[in-house]
Amino acid sequence: MLRSIFLDALKNLSGNALRSGLTMLGVIIGVAAVITMIAIVEGGQVWLVNSLERMGTNLLFVWKKRLTVEERQLFAGRNTELRYDDALAIQTRFPDLVVAPILELDGQLKAGDRDYSGRITGTSPEYSQIRNFRPESGQFVSSIDIKEWNRSVVLGHTIAEVLFGSQSAIGEGVKIGDQRFTVKGIMEPKGEIYGHDYDEMVIIPISTGLRFFQGSDKIRSMIIHVPDRQRMDEISQALHQFLVQRHEGVDDIHIRNQGEFLSAVDQTLLTFRLVLGGIAVIALLVGGIGIMNIMLVTVTERTREIGLRKAIGARRQDILLQFLIESTTISVIGGAIGIFVGILAAYGIGDIVARAMPGGGDWGAVVQPTAIAIAFAFAVVVGVGFGLFPAMKASKLEPAEALRYQ
């Protein structure tokens, strides 16, 4: 009997192919929307984690706070700068941390008849290690370079191409300002991360930069790697205290935990997820209401059929089952097509985002089986749920009334 009722339902659906198709469309769009949106947000998450890993992990960023005019007057004469000495002192005081001081200068590079104007970064060997950014050929700045104020320069991938084209730059001379430097290494291509193009970096030993260009020991910032992730907050506080003490009690230091940064981005992603998820759920609900609408029309249209079926012996549950099977079939088939469309759309949109977003080259949608399962299950629940009301309505009709319904 179940088989007959099921075949009956299929016949009714195919007899009204256009209507069934349009109803299904609602479910298809709903399911596809859920899958696509989850895949894109998930893709964003993966991309974010990857790019953070490319930037290095467990990092603390130390900056000098900008002081107000009053504060500057108040603290006049006190030691309120972030200095190279601070970095060395931290390294001595906290030997298990890895400290990379950073100096930034604007300058002009010349090699033969080619030149390049831009930012020059002075740092120490630790930078390469904790930023997970290594030379493709030659070597990075070494501790000997630091000690001996060597005029060696390591070029970003793009800069090397700008200045030397395809020929090898290692050992070649470059003029920075009026100082002669030797190219010591070329960095691996890394691309852009959060608006910073690593391929356009020009790196020199920090000591050389301080001595020949800066004329003082003020540095711009420090990046500090903490080996134990659990101790990030604790170390951040200890460093803050240590630096304030060194700055004669002036709190002019900002320390940003990479984790905080990550959680800020996470928060943004969560918001995205909620908004997009909400839209997707609404799409699915609208699809469900479409099912209910059509089933109500079907029930009304077929009131006399229901009356006849009851007259010749259909029980309430037989009628209920018949209409439930119809709505469930719509949502199951619609859900299956929706999965297919959703996966296609996710990869399509992922591709567009990867092209459109700066540094999004490795961006891609991540279609998760759980997302598929959730979307499909939800579609079926919506189908059954919204099919139930019209089915109940149909099954409760008094046969005499239903038979003579006009």
Partner 1 sequence: MLIDLNHIFKIYQAGHVEVPALINITLQINKGEFVAIIGQSGSGKTTLLDIIGCLSRPTNGEYWLDGDLVNTLPDSRLTGIRNKKIGFIFQTFHLLPRKTALENVQLPLMYAGASRTVQHDIAQTLLTKVGLQDRLRHYSNQLSGGQQQRVAIARALANSPALLLADEPTGNLDSQSGKDILALFEQLHRHGQTIVMITHDPLIAQQAERRVTLADGRVVADEYMHQSLPVPG
Closest listed residue to residue 99, CA positions, set 112, 114, 83, 79: 83
If binding is defined by CB under 8 A, does position 318 make contact with partner 1? yes
Angle at 90 between CA 85 and CA 94, to 5 degrees: 155
Count of residues engaged in binding partner 1, rule: CB under 8 A: 23
Stretch that binds partner 1, among 185-193, 212-220, 384-392, 396-404 (CB under 8 A): 396-404
Counts for the chain of helices (H) and strands (E), in that order: 14, 12
Angle at 336 between CA 46 and CA 329, to 5 degrees: 145
If binding is defined by CB under 8 A, does position 300 make contact with partner 1? no
Query: Are the CB atoms for 104 and 119 separated by under 8 Å?
Result: yes
If binding is defined by CB under 8 A, does position 215 make contact with partner 1? no
CA distances from 180 to 171, 174, 215 (A): 12, 6, 17
Please state at what angle helix 2-15 crosses helix 17-54, rounded to 10 degrees: 90
If binding is defined by CB under 8 A, does position 229 make contact with partner 1? no
- Nearer CB in complex with partner 1: 20/258: 20
Q: Which two tokens stand for residue 304?
A: 């006399």
Q: Which two tokens stand for residue 388?
A: 């139930």
Residue of 189, 315, 348, 361 that binds partner 1 (CB under 8 A): 315
If binding is defined by CB under 8 A, does position 320 make contact with partner 1? no
Among positions 361-380, residues that touch partner 1 (CB under 8 A) are none
- Nearer CB in complex with partner 1: 86/305: 305
- Nearer CB in complex with partner 1: 113/398: 398
- Nearer CB in complex with partner 1: 252/305: 305
Least distance to partner 1, CB of residue 369, Å: 39
Binding characters for partner 1, 9-48, by CB under 8 A (x = yes): --xx--x---------------------------------
Own/partner long-range contacts of 265-272 (Cβ < 8 Å, ≥24 apart): 265/48, 269/41, 269/44, 269/45, 269/48, 272/41, 272/44
- Nearer CB in complex with partner 1: 80/395: 395
> Rounded distance, CA 248 to CA 213, Å?
27
- Nearer CB in complex with partner 1: 35/294: 294
Closest listed residue to residue 33, CA positions, set 378, 275, 381, 283: 283
If binding is defined by CB under 8 A, does position 305 make contact with partner 1? yes
Least distance to partner 1, CB of residue 280, Å: 37
Least distance to partner 1, CB of residue 365, Å: 43
CA distances from 238 to 9, 90, 223, 243, 244 (A): 72, 10, 15, 9, 10
Query: Are the CB atoms for 192 and 358 separated by under 8 Å?
Result: yes
Stretch that binds partner 1, among 288-296, 315-323, 327-335, 347-355 (CB under 8 A): 315-323
> Can you give the binding site for partner 1, defined by CB under 8 A?
1, 4, 11-12, 15, 304-305, 308-316, 318, 398-401, 403-404
